[in-house]
Amino acid sequence: MDLNPFRFCSGLKFLGYFMIILVFALIAISYDAVIVLTCGPHLLHGGFKSFLSFLVLTLFHLLLFLLVWSYFMVVFRDPGAVPANWRVLPDQNVEQENFVSSSSLAADDNSAMASSSDGIEKRSAPGYCSRCQNGKPPRCHHCSVCERCVLKMDHHCIWVVNCVGARNYKFFLLFVLYTFLETLMDTLVLLPGFINFFQQANHHSSSPGKLAITFLAFVLNLAFALSLLCFVVMHISLLLSNTTSVEVHEKKKGMQWKYDLGWKKNIEQVFGTEKLMWPFPLLSKQDLEKVPALDGLNFPTRSDVNV
């Protein structure tokens, strides 16, 4: 029997709690550098600098509120679990042509388990997970870290100590987007202070503590902004094509993806139909009832929808 290293991934869960501390440490450092040290002193001086500082302060707190709200929602919202004793209905087609290799979808439930490099364990029987001993809905995958099947699994994110799936993917996207905007704004606000860092250090015009905080906050925010830019672009591309990170490796090249309903409907499959709710980490009761994909068990396909 081949050794599957992802059986031990559940032990990495504790690392996520350290990441939560890291997120709030970055927020605290950025708040001190941007609000207390950079913008705060200009608020009472009057003039354009005071007005600009007020705008930065307002935008900073608005983005911070949306960021933290989205973060807690993706951390505490269950991404979606398979109901007990779920089985594929006779008229429900769990198709093999959505996957790259038909050999990985052999009908034998007792065949060897394939493992991917992202910690997702793939059983060979379509529509059934022999590890959970339960049915496996379309677009569902077994996560080795959570040790369960997750509905429309995108990936397991150690930054949120949770899987990203059907029922919290919107919140994850908003968290990534607002974090990128917040770190980008912080970088731009701190850029003049960073440019003057070495001059101030030579002339000792500022305390070493203030200089160190400004320098550290700028470097951290710049690093996060650059890395998150790639992440934002990638997930926007996935959103517009109605694809998860897992499914990128499963789609056949040159074939139309059956879940791609057109970019407008693809967005609605994640964000819902009420556009006024899109910027907020919430899903209306109406959308939860009207958009089956948000529940993670049923997904419309191109054959079901005029595209």
Q: Give kind and range of the element (H or E) at residue 43.
A: none
Q: What is d(CA 198, CA 55) in angstroms, rounded to the nearest whole number? A: 28
Q: Of residues 39, 143, 157, 163, which has the active-site annotation?
A: 157
Cβ atoms of 147 and 134 within 8 Å: the answer is no
CA atoms within 13 A on the CB side of 82: 28
Nearest partner of 75 among 28, 19, 119, 9, judged by Cα: 19
Q: What is d(CA 101, CA 103) in angstroms, rounded to the nearest whole number? A: 5
Nearest partner of 32 among 174, 193, 201, judged by Cα: 193
Q: Which residue has the tokens 């109406």?
A: 286
Q: Which residue has the tokens 């919202």?
A: 77
For the question of residue 39 being annotated catalytic, the response is no
Q: What is d(CA 262, CA 246) in angstroms, rounded to the nearest whole number? A: 20
Active site residues: 157
